[in-house]
Amino acid sequence: MMKRAFFFLLLTASLVSSISSSEARDKISSCIRDTNPDLPQSLQPIGIGSDYFWTFNYPISSQKKIIVAINDGSGERVIDEVILHEVATTVFRQGIAEEIKSRGYSANLLQTTIAQTAEQTRRQQSNLEVFREQTEKKYQQLSLQDLQDQLNRLSNQADDLDSALRDSLGYQQAFETDYSQTTLNALLGSYNASFDALALFIQSYDDYQKSISDLESEVYKSSIPDPDNKNIYSNLENLRDLGLGQLYAKAKASDPRLITKKFEAIGENWVKDSVESYFFIDTRCNAEEQFAALDSDYRSMLQSESLLKSKGLGPEVESVKQKYTEITALRSQRSLAGYKAMLEKMPEAKGAIDFLKDRFEGSKATIAPQQKQEDYTGLVIIGLIIAIAAYAFMKYKSQGNDPL
Q: What's the pLDDT tens digit per position in 183-222?
A: 999 999 999 999 999 999 999 999 999 999 999 999 999 9
Q: Is 144 within 8 Å of 131 (Cβ atoms)? A: yes
User: Which of the pair, 31 or 121, is modelled with greater confidence?
Assistant: 121
Q: Is 192 within 8 Å of 260 (Cβ atoms)? A: yes
Q: What is the pLDDT of residue 6?
A: 46
3-class secondary structure, 241:
coil
Low-confidence winner among 63-72, 162-171, 242-251, 264-273 (lowest mean pLDDT): 242-251
Q: What is the pLDDT of residue 322?
A: 97
Q: What is the pLDDT of residues 313-353, one digit of tens each?
A: 999 999 999 999 999 999 999 999 999 999 999 999 999 99
| Phi, psi (deg, nearest 5) at residue 48 | -135, 110
Q: What is the pLDDT of residue 262?
A: 93
3-class secondary structure, 69:
strand
Return d(Cα 105, Cα 268) in angstroms, integer: 24
Closest to 201 measured CA to CA, from 114, 123, 261? 114
Q: pLDDT averaged over the chain?
A: 88
The residue extents of the domains of the chain are 4-102, 107-255
Q: Is pLDDT above 80 for 115?
A: yes
Residue 53 pairs in a beta bridge with: 46, 71
Q: Is 233 within 8 Å of 216 (Cβ atoms)? A: yes
pTM of this structure: 0.78
Closest to 97 measured CA to CA, from 179, 13, 11, 191? 191
| Phi, psi (deg, nearest 5) at residue 47 | -85, 130
Parallel, antiparallel or unpaired: strands 67-71 and 51-57: antiparallel
Binning the chain into helix, strand and coil, the percentages to the nearest 5 are 75, 5, 20
Q: What is the pLDDT of residues 35-64, one digit of tens each?
A: 899 999 999 999 999 999 999 999 999 999
Q: What is the pLDDT of residue 86?
A: 97
Return d(Cα 284, Cα 241) in angstroms, integer: 62
Q: Is pLDDT above 50 for 12?
A: no
Q: Tell me 43's DSSP state.
A: S
Distance of CA 91 to the CA centre of its chain: 5
Return d(Cα 19, Cα 70) in angstroms, integer: 10
pLDDT confidence bin for 383, thresholds 50/70/90 = low
Q: Is 124 within 8 Å of 239 (Cβ atoms)? A: yes
Q: What is the pLDDT of residue 346?
A: 97
Q: Is pLDDT above 60 for 163?
A: yes
Closest to 97 measured CA to CA, from 162, 42, 146, 33? 42
Q: What is the pLDDT of residue 3?
A: 45
Q: Is pLDDT above 70 for 377?
A: no
163-200 burial, b at 16+ Cβ within 10 Å, e below that, comes to: bbbbbbbbbbbbbebbbbbebbebbbebbbbbbebbee
- Residues with Cβ within 8 Å of 30's Cβ and at least 6 positions away in sequence, in order, are none
